[in-house]
Amino acid sequence: MMRNYSEFSRQAWADLTPKVKLAVSNEDLAKVKSLGDELDVKDVDEIYETLLTYLNLAYEQKRETMAKKAAFLKRDLPKLPYVIGISGSVAVGKSTTARLLQLLLTRYYPALKTQMMTTDGFIYPNAELERRKLMPRKGFPESYNMQMLRDFLRDVVSGKKDVVYPLYSQELSDIVPGQYGHVNQPDILIIEGINTLQLPESGQLVTSDFFDFSIYIDADEDLIEKWYMQRFKKIMKMKKDDPSNFYYDLANGPEEEAMQLAEETWQMVNLVNLRQYIAPTKERANLILHKVEGHLIDKIYLRSF
Ligand SMILES: Nc1ncnc2c1ncn2[C@@H]1O[C@H](COP(=O)(O)OP(=O)(O)O)[C@@H](O)[C@H]1O
Ligand SMILES: CC(C)(COP(=O)(O)O)[C@@H](O)C(=O)NCCC(=O)O
């Protein structure tokens, strides 16, 4: 298990690079925090500086290879994005990590355009999931329009301008009708989603075929369940006064009932999905960030070959 990865403690990882001071303050971090995050500048110093230095190395290597290929083919160097995929369970902290990485990359490389997105938007709308009887399997591979995701990624990595994608709202628990995100020739694109490292149905391209670098966020199941329940409660409280919201009825009924539904959803849907379809993709990632209590990253695994 994990023999092809080098394991680092937090300290050993931090010691790999001299500190360059990313000049990120707690106020900056406040901007990328979602509900209840406790991001700390210590994470920036101890985890992300080394990660950025390593990404820089990989990015430069890709640019160099592309320049050589373009010269060989006697073509201009195309402007293609460097794509970073982030995977892991529902509620493990993918979007928080993606937002922080985007902030840091923008700080570190102000001349580069860094965009961020999630694959949640490629899940079928609830009405379509109902029609296909897939509501209990929301988040499972068959609940995503994978063809649309692949077409989207093909357009993005071939350097097409203004590629649009659908948006999902966790608060609505559905696709947002008529709203789209735009990817417009970024230098770096961060894509987070539970399915980003998933294996293909026979012979088709997989999402990760389009990635230059991939990260899997890992933690014990019990902890992720706790984070899921906490997030559920927070969203519910936020939507207590919004009758049009998915969480409204739950928020205004008995709390035990709401938490029981959350617990059932975790046990029957998200945990099953994690075990069957997400965790098995862990060892396809270039880097694994392992988290413990309080979202603290205690171990880092870098694939060495
Ligand atoms: N570094 C962190 N520190 C504290 N809380 C975090 C951290 N990362 C994520 N969380 C919390 O854990 C929950 C899940 O995180 P989120 O980024 O929404 O996960 P995902 O995108 O994987 O579903 C959220 O409530 C979020 O506030
Ligand atoms: C769309 C999702 C699969 C994506 O999850 P995320 O990692 O963004 O939290 C998830 O939010 C979801 O809807 N899961 C289905 C069961 C539930 O409502 O938790």
pLDDT tens across 129-186, in order?
999 999 999 999 999 998 899 999 999 999 999 999 999 998 889 999 999 999 999 9
Number of H helices, E strands in the chain: 11, 9
Ligand 2, pocket-test mutation among 96, 116, 138, most atoms within 8 A of CB: 138
Question: How does residue 203 score in pLDDT terms, banded at 50, 70 and 90?
Answer: low
Distance in angstroms (rounded) separating the CA atoms of residues 42 and 47:
8
**Tens digit of pLDDT for each residue in 83-114?**
999 999 999 999 999 999 998 899 888 999 99
Residue of 197, 232, 270 to test ligand 2 pocket, by largest number of atoms within 8 Å of CB: 270
Pick from 38, 89, 82: which is nearest to 64 by CA?
Answer: 82
Query: What dihedral do alpha carbons 226, 228, 230, 234 form, nearest 10°?
Result: 180
44 is an annotated ligand-binding site residue: no
pLDDT(41) > 80: no
pLDDT at 36 over 60: no
Residue 19 to residue 34: CA distance in whole angstroms: 27
Q: What pLDDT was estimated at residue 193?
A: 95
Following CA atoms 130, 222, 281, 284 in sequence, which dihedral angle do they give, to the nearest 10 degrees?
Answer: 150
In this prediction the pTM is 0.93
The CA 139 to ligand 2 mean position distance, Å, reads 6
Domain range enclosing 242: 5-303
Query: How many domains does one find in the chain?
Result: 1
pLDDT digits (tens, 9 = 90+) for 215-259: 999 999 999 999 999 999 999 998 899 988 888 999 999 999 999
* CATH number, domain with residue 143: 3.40.50.300
Tokens 């509620």 found at: 91
CA of 92, closest atom in ligand 1: 22
- To the question of whether residue 214 is assigned a binding role by annotation, the answer is no
Residue 194 backbone phi and psi in degrees, to 5: -65, -25
